[in-house]
Chain A
């Protein structure tokens, strides 16, 4: 069974880190030797069974995998179409899929003899996951986080600090994920000799898009096995939210060769795609360019300056997207739709009420498009949604958006 999954006919990226026209390695020269060294270390590690054995062991006993595949009965009934399953990544240790990647990268960092970890974070989920593995493996960790995100994700800031991580608020630009990533890269350029940069999404320079994907495909591989057990067949569609796109590519990748499986990504449309600089939908509302080490779709003005974008969800508030999604979008293998802040908020509440699950605002974007997809696939069909994170971190943002004050409840 595993063999069948691992031998995708689709075989990206190429040796230069390209997914068709996208990806690559656009970094300042100071970083080039490091990034090339990382590429070599990764190429060796991924051939090493002992490396994967340790990774899988930690996923089982530290993270709590496999995460369940859960039939969302009341939502299925509510939408009245295809059967809806949730892949419960929000039940992982630290509450999101991000930990899958951090476990893999910390093992690689250790293998490379690095003694200091840096990371960027938006919603704080990757920051928390990084802080978690750094505490476990006793490595000092600095997390760069936009000042606005520090404000809207306070519980996660406190969690990181509890685990001994230094959270560095970034005030440049809009104070969101993009600015945090710039600052992390500056740290890396300055501390090349001892520092490992733990990127949280399947974006950035080669080999990160490939490596982060490979650490996240555990999601799709488990899903495949679990849906075969539950339904005796593959799903008709898989759906996930897309910011940088790591939870989505982790779900999508093992299904790319299965032409019968529709692949649907949901971007954050913020205030709406027609609002200039008011959304974070890089594919549906952007065009190709180069940022943070890779060629991909970006939100940018006519002169090639990067726009800040907007989403109520800090984890999707990024003006780029992983290069593999850009490729799947261009080739049409995956379809990318979008949901607004308002739609995500509705989905957030609906899922809380109907399923007793409070989803992350990020995942709520995917849930917001479930109704359309369930109707399109129709009764008798099967959909799997990647419930990438839990929404506890978002309750303050949601309360504020709904005009409720926690103190007055």
Chain B
């Protein structure tokens, strides 16, 4: 399946003339059982694609919200093996929703590229985003992922010029992820109008669907992005809902799924 699962999802979305609602949570935040409930719940709430973060101790491109999520997960003892077990459980329950792992290079290096790629394939993971692995350092990782039929999804940023863009989209599959603001996750708010041209250009060069993320905080913004891009990615808002529910001692999933549901509705209705 794998790359085909991503392609099938975007084909379906295109047929329905709507953008993907892509939701992110961190595996093991605050614990693995809650993560499993959230993954299933997110699909019910309307998530078309799921990004599952694997925690790293030094996430250098994350704002405070995702940093704290990684800390909570690691404090709770989450290991890479747990992340893959969580992915497998989700895949057994859901054969259609693309699942993308997102994280940093060192845990991948530590496993070794072939072992990492095989673990992805075995767990039903369809794509991988490695934040600190530019194309210059990615060749051997892509070889391993290709052999396992897992996509390496690229982040493209406002700082990527035309030459850079061509380098970035080589050997990319599934979709590309346009980071709408220069900055860390979840801090600045994206300006939907300003990115419209950039998204169109990236789509033309990449010849793949373009999802947009970093700084989408409200249903309104998610809908605006859904009108111009092939998907709206929401992470920090959902993860922040987990953090808040922990402070209030209320069940994490209720608050997160309510938030996700509102965002999903907004994305689904954006083009009506």
Contact = CB atoms under 8 A, between A and B. Distances in A.
Partners in one complex: yes
Contacts of B109: 288-290, 295, 304
Interface in A25-41: 25-34
Contact of B132 (A27, A172, A193, A298): A27
Interface in B42-92: 55-63, 67, 74, 79-80
B17 interface: no
B106 A182 contact: no
A190 B184 contact: yes
A303 B57 CA distance: 11
Interface residues of A, number: 36
Nearest to B155: A29
B110 A26 contact: no
Interface in B143-184: 154-161, 164, 168, 179, 182-184
Interface string A30-62: 111110000000000000000000000000000
B84 to A, nearest CB: 12
B182 A173 contact: no
A304 B66 CA distance: 18
User: Max chain A CB contacts within 10 Å: which of B60, B79, B182?
Assistant: B60
A189 B106 contact: no
A306 interface: yes
Contact of A306 (B58, B111, B133): B58
A262 interface: no
Nearest to B70: A305
Given A25-B137, A30-B157, A186 B179 contact: no
Interface in B104-139: 104-111, 131-134, 136-137
B4 interface: no
Interface in A357-382: none
A26 B133 contact: yes
B137 A173 contact: no
User: Max chain B CB contacts within 10 Å: which of A16, A25, A30?
Assistant: A30
Contacts of A303: 79-80, 107, 110
Contact of B179 (A26, A29, A34, A289): A29
A210 to B, nearest CB: 16
A305 B58 CA distance: 8
A273 interface: no
Given A189-B61, A304-B109, A27 B134 contact: yes
Q: How large is the interface on B (under 10, 10 to 19, 20 to 34, 35 or more residues)?
A: 35 or more
A25 B105 contact: no
A304 B107 CA distance: 5
A75 B4 CA distance: 71
A304 to B, nearest CB: 3
A289 B112 CA distance: 10
A253 B98 CA distance: 50
Given A25-B136, A26-B134, A300 B110 contact: yes
A333 interface: no
B187 interface: yes
A182 B64 CA distance: 12
A290 B184 contact: no
Interface in A259-314: 288-293, 295, 298, 300, 302-306
A28 B136 contact: no
Contact of A192 (B60, B159, B188): B159
Given A33-B161, A186-B184, A291 B61 contact: no
A178 interface: yes
B182 A32 contact: no
Contacts of B179: 29-30
A185 interface: yes
A26 B105 contact: yes
A292 B60 CA distance: 8
A190 B58 contact: no
B182 A185 contact: no
A400 to B, nearest CB: 28
Interface string A133-152: 00000000000000000000
A134 B191 CA distance: 34
B156 A29 contact: yes
A27 B107 CA distance: 15
A322 interface: no
Contact of A305 (B57, B105, B155): B57
B159 A32 contact: yes
Contact of A186 (B60, B131, B154): B60
Nearest to A185: B60
A41 B158 CA distance: 21
B57 A173 contact: yes
Given A25-B136, A304-B110, A305-B107, A190 B183 contact: yes
Contacts of B183: 30, 189-190
B132 A293 contact: yes
B134 A25 contact: yes
A290 B58 contact: no
Contacts of A173: 57-58
Given A189-B61, A304-B109, A305-B57, A26 B182 contact: no
Contacts of A291: 58, 106
A217 B15 CA distance: 62
Contacts of B57: 173, 305-306
Contacts of A172: 67
11 contacts: A24-B137, A26-B105, A29-B159, A29-B179, A33-B159, A178-B58, A186-B62, A190-B188, A290-B104, A291-B106, A302-B110
Given A27-B134, A304-B107, 14 more contacts: A16-B136, A26-B133, A32-B159, A34-B159, A182-B58, A182-B60, A186-B61, A189-B60, A190-B187, A192-B182, A290-B105, A303-B79, A303-B80, A306-B106
Q: Nearest 8 CB-CB pairs, A to B?
A: A304-B110, A304-B107, A190-B183, A28-B61, A290-B105, A305-B57, A30-B157, A185-B60
